[in-house]
Structure 1
Amino acid sequence: MSKKQIATTNAPGAIGPYSQAIAAGNWVYTSGQLGMNPETGDLAEGVQEQARQALNNVKAILEEAGASLEHVVKTTVFLKDMNDFAAVNEIYSTFFTEPYPARSAVEVARLPKDGLVEIEAVARKK
């Protein structure tokens, strides 16, 4: 099975030796996306706006790969503070419909750029 790098200017570029996403066969694996504006490189204000921007970044990458949020089967949500779980969940629920993707949510000591939330996804292409 071959793998293909996915890149779009509609999401922040990689800030290290990794790809925004990799397509392998009919599957797309995104790297974790912070709540960073792709045009300015700035993090959004607050955990909910960072979650919204992170999911918009995931959406843009999936679309570049020929997939969409409705094709997501699994996400992982990394939180700086698990007390933000409900606030992030409120935003998250506006991006997905039933049947919802499988999901893990974990609290981490620190995220790149001192972000409050980072989200990655696995999706099957159309």
Structure 2
Amino acid sequence: MAPNVETSTPPNTPAPIGPYNHIAKTGPFITIGGTAGVDPATGKLAGPDVHAQTKAILNSFAVMLASVGSDLGHVLHINVFLKEMADFERMNQAYIEAMGGHRPARTVIGVRELPRPGVLVTMNLTAVTRE
């Protein structure tokens, strides 16, 4: 029998821009799909710079993870998709502020385009529940 997969997009997180939910969970394993730095209250970008957008992504991740019994300390891997590699250090500053001392595996990929105008960075992740 195939494992049950639960999908969701909790309140107080950005609405998906396509036909998907942000979170997929099976057992203790959680994946969160590509998320941009959007202010969930307004639906607009959290700011024009990569630092503000990165902070917003990680804040949204914290809310999403809490909704399925996890937190940023239980992240296994994060993919970062940067529009400009020149933004790498500013993204890292916001990343360190949000992640504290937790250093999960991470991949940073430079991309030419992202689906929403003005988006400088998107991220997705894999995590486990606190249990």
* TM-score, normalised via structure 1 length: 0.95
Equivalent position of 2:123 in the other structure: 119
Deviation at 1:112, TM superposition (A): 2.1
* 2:65 partner amino acid: L
Cα deviation digits, residues 41-76 of structure 1 (max 9, x gap) = 100221100010011111111111111000001000
Residues 29-68 of structure 1 aligned to structure 2 (within 5 Å): 29-45=31-47, 46-68=49-71
Deviation at 1:7, TM superposition (A): 1.8
Equivalent position of 1:28 in the other structure: 30
Bigger CA drift: 86-95 or 97-106? 97-106
* Runs ≥4 residues deviating over 4 A: none
Deviation at 1:96, TM superposition (A): 1.7
Distance 1:16 1:105 in 2: 23
Distance 2:16 2:129 in 1: 22
Deviation at 1:125, TM superposition (A): 0.4
* Pairs aligned (count): 126
Deviation at 1:121, TM superposition (A): 1.1
Distance 1:50 1:98 in 2: 20
Q: Which runs of 5+ in 2 are unaligned?
A: none
* TM-score, normalised via structure 2 length: 0.91
Residues 73-92 of structure 1 aligned to structure 2 (within 5 Å): 73-92=76-95
Answering whether residue 109 of structure 2 is matched by residue 106 of structure 1, we say yes
CA RMSD, 1 decimal: 1.1
Residues 21 and 29 in structure 1, CA contact (< 8 A), matched pair in contact too: yes
